[in-house]
Amino acid sequence: MSQARVLNPQELRRVLDHVASRRHSARNRAMLLLTHYAGMRVAEVANLRIDNVLNSDNTIKNEVRLMPDQTKGRHARTVYLNERMQKEISKYIKSIRIKDVTKPLFYTQKQQGFSANSLAQYFFYLYRNVGLDGASSHSGRRSFLTTLANRGTSIHILKSLAGHRSISTTATYLYNTPDQLRAAVELI
């Protein structure tokens, strides 16, 4: 099975434009961008609770602590939210009625949290509807790590941001274009 497609900024813009034209756009945009801007796995997004992202003063946290039952491999990890992602979550939070902060952050039309599988299916059909062959629920995560690597981020930092236990796992996420490879040899 091939790896999920890495999206370039123009392709991500196409997806966001499509999301904006549909119902539940604030929710769907926030879920999508958590994979692209924070490198979260779809199951982690599905397992987020309101209290994971919301401070007691109703501001958005810049660090989200995921407990072992919320992650792959059952290892706690910290997800860092940049200012753009914090604004996206804040916008979404303002669109929902919070009754219990221990409830899922993202919920379906039936008022229950997404399962990892239902969210993965949502992403599959979202990318397919936009015409991005090879894109899947893992595309955001791969795009996040590849973008950071291409901007010179150390693989050790990428490993931590991804929540990987091994650098060799992180290395499989990174995508190189022929232009990048040509530019690299020109450095000699």
Handedness of CA 70, 25, 93, 78 (dihedral sign): positive
User: Does the pLDDT value for residue 179 go beyond 80?
Assistant: no
In a domain, 172, yes or no: no
d(CA 153, CA 54): 28
In a domain, 145, yes or no: no
In a domain, 173, yes or no: no
Query: Are the CB atoms for 7 and 139 separated by under 8 Å?
Result: yes
pLDDT tens track for 112-134: 889 999 999 999 999 999 999 99
Q: Would you call 107 exposed, middle or buried from its count of C-beta atoms within 10 A (0-12, 13-18, 19+)?
A: middle
Identify the domain containing residue 106 by its residue range: 9-140
State the average pLDDT for the chain.
92
In a domain, 109, yes or no: yes
In a domain, 136, yes or no: yes
Q: Would you call 96 exposed, middle or buried from its count of C-beta atoms within 10 A (0-12, 13-18, 19+)?
A: middle
User: Does the pLDDT value for residue 23 go beyond 80?
Assistant: yes
Structural domain count of the chain: 1
Enter the DSSP assignment of 110: T
pLDDT tens track for 55-104: 999 999 999 999 999 998 889 999 999 999 999 999 999 999 888 999 99
Q: For position 99, which CATH number holds?
A: 1.10.443.10
In a domain, 185, yes or no: no
